[in-house]
């Protein structure tokens, strides 16, 4: 029953908050409701047995029985990390938006909570069709958030984003339908998919059916072209949702659905994907060097970091997968923190151009310290959260190929250069007319910044708890996939 409450609590909140309409109290109601989901997650975390690799708190009810689908959901170590990320970031995203005066805030915050429910379905579904429903349900609210409250070019940019994601999703649905027809009882059950024995030719096209949907969502080069424009034109809360949580749907899908279901297809194309991921790291980093728009710079930085996560996953060893698990959380925290900081700068200065900034640290020391801590986490300084994730990812890629790890490591080197250069140009140097009156953070801004900085430092100093959550499930899944590859792709997880 806990899973049902976890999934449907945000929907109830979305309905309640939407009733506030244009009332400014909608944001307070949304924040309080999001804390209920966070409290439930804390309870599940205390009751969760990290040593058991199987799904826990499971529910399995008749749903679309004539179609072969059941409402089957649960939480294992991999899911728990993503549930924690989702329900931990949503309250911060809502709180970070308190300084904005959105028209019709009831609708805005209602869509945020509805999206939260779709994300939780994705991260807990043990049925392929339920997974697909959550996948699409999470897309609908973010589309309207970006289309209604986005920037000047929101219509064109949003249409491109929608076409990309829908095209990938439909191909994935076809692959799911085919797989269900191959099971003995025409089921969409995850374990039934894992137990299938498919020839290598079939697994190759199944691989592409899933991979295109997941690669677009992450995004992996060259499926990334929607991302910089969408991140730039989306309202800040929308950018946080997209970068902090939604892109993890693609990463999670690769680990949970693609590789275990089509291991021979994965084995056939793993080198190609690693090459694409590493190419994306170098490409996005070089483009980030040239950016004059501060928001687009961070958007390209995100592509580079996700490229390293993708490379670590497709190296397929415990180090790489564990690195991906903790880095999903770390990337979510850091990219949320970066876009929150940029939002403060853009709101105060009414510009995204780096050349028009400078000297902010002189008049806003608290903001400058918080900005620096988040930035150091982003560039993976030791004792910050980004370090352990990127270290494990590089170690995983190293075990695959030493030269691949050398090139993939450029994400840390390049990232340190362009991010620190950006900080220097924005925060240091001489003041100008706009930056000389820059107001330091206060109220909810200070609260959000303190929480993010605390997470950056705490996870960096003590990452063990997060790693322990997923370790047992990751080890079992890695062994399972390796066994399927060696035995010709049949088995039960």
d(C-alpha 196, C-alpha 187), whole Å = 11
pLDDT-based confidence at 29, cuts 50/70/90?
very high
Q: Name the β-bridge partners of 59.
A: 73
d(C-alpha 342, C-alpha 322), whole Å = 30
100-121 residue pLDDT tens:
888 889 999 999 999 999 999 9
**Location of structure tokens 């770390």:** 330
d(C-alpha 476, C-alpha 220), whole Å = 26
**Is pLDDT of 211 > 90?**
yes
Q: Up-side HSE of residue 396: CA atoms within 13 Å toward CB? A: 27
Tokens coding 5: 């409450």
132-177 residue pLDDT tens:
999 999 988 988 898 888 777 777 787 888 888 888 889 999 999 9
User: What pTM was estimated for this model as a whole?
Assistant: 0.92
- Can you give the pLDDT at residue 485? 86
d(C-alpha 117, C-alpha 127), whole Å = 16
Residue 412 CB: number of other CB atoms within 10 A?
22
328-368 residue pLDDT tens:
999 999 999 999 999 999 998 888 888 888 889 988 999 99
- Can you give the pLDDT at residue 359? 87
Sign of CA dihedral 43, 45, 51, 56: positive
**Is pLDDT of 396 > 70?**
yes
d(C-alpha 116, C-alpha 38), whole Å = 12
**Is pLDDT of 489 > 70?**
no
Q: Name the β-bridge partners of 189.
A: 127
405-447 residue pLDDT tens:
998 888 788 889 999 999 999 998 888 877 788 898 888 999 9
- Can you give the pLDDT at residue 222? 86
Helices assigned H by DSSP within 221-317 = 227-233, 236-241, 247-253, 259-261, 263-289, 294-315
**Is pLDDT of 488 > 80?**
no
SS3 32: helix
pLDDT-based confidence at 65, cuts 50/70/90?
confident
SS3 354: helix
d(C-alpha 330, C-alpha 460), whole Å = 9
DSSP code string of 156-197: HHHHHHHHHHHHHHHHHHHHHHHHHHHSTT---BHHHHHT--
Which candidate, 110, 116, 145, 91, places its Cα nearest to that of 19?
Answer: 110
């Amino acid at each position: 029953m806990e899973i049902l409450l976890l999934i449907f609590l945000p929907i109830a909140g979305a309905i309640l908050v939407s009733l506030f309409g244009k009332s400014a109290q909608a944001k307070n109601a949304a924040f309080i409701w999001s804390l209920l989901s966070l409290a439930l997650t804390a309870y599940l975390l205390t009751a969760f047995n990290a040593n058991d690799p199987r799904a826990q708190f499971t529910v399995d009810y008749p749903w679309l029985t004539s179609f072969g689908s059941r409402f089957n959901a649960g939480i294992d170590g991999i899911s728990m990390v993503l549930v924690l990320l989702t329900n931990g970031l949503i309250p911060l995203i809502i709180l970070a938006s308190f300084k904005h005066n959105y028209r019709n805030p009831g609708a805005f915050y209602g869509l945020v909570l509805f999206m939260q429910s779709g994300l939780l379905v994705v991260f807990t579904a043990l049925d392929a069709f339920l997974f697909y429903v959550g996948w699409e349900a999470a897309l609908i609210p973010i589309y309207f958030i970006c289309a209604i409250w986005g920037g000047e070019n929101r219509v064109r940019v949003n249409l491109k984003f929608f076409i990309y994601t829908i095209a990938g999703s439909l191909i994935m649905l076809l692959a799911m339908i085919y797989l269900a027809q191959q099971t003995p009882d025409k089921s969409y059950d995850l374990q039934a998919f894992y137990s299938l024995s498919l020839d290598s030719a079939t697994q190759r096209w199944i691989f592409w059916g899933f991979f295109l949907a997941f690669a677009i969502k992450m995004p992996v080069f060259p499926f990334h072209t929607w991302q910089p424009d969408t991140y730039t034109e989306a309202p800040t809360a929308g950018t946080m949702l997209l970068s902090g949580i939604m892109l993890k749907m693609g990463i999670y899908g690769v680990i949970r659905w693609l590789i275990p279901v089509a291991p021979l297809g994965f084995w056939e194309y793993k080198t190609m994907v690693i090459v694409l991921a590493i190419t994306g790291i170098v490409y996005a980093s070089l483009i980030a060097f040239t950016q004059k728009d501060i928001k687009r710079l961070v958007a390209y930085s995100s592509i580079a970091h996700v490229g390293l996560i993708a490379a670590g996953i497709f190296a397929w060893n415990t180090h790489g997968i564990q690195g991906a698990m903790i880095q999903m959380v770390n990337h979510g925290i850091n990219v949320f923190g970066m876009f929150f900081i940029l939002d403060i700068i853009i709101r105060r200065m009414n510009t995204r151009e780096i050349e028009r900034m400078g000297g902010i640290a002189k008049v806003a020391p608290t903001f400058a310290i918080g900005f620096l801590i988040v930035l150091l986490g982003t560039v993976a300084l030791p004792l910050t959260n980004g370090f352990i994730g990127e270290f494990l990812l590089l170690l995983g890629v190293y075990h695959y190929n030493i030269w691949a790890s050398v090139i993939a490591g450029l994400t840390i080197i390049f990232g340190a250069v362009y991010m620190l250069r950006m900080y220097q140009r924005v925060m240091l140097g001489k003041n100008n007319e706009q930056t000389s009156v820059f107001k330091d953070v206060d109220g909810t801004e200070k609260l959000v910044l303190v929480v993010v900085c605390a997470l950056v430092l705490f996870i960096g100093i003590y990452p063990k708890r997060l790693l322990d959550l997923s370790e047992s499930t990751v080890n079992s899944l890695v062994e399972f996939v390796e066994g399927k590859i060696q035995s010709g792709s049949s088995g039960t997880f």
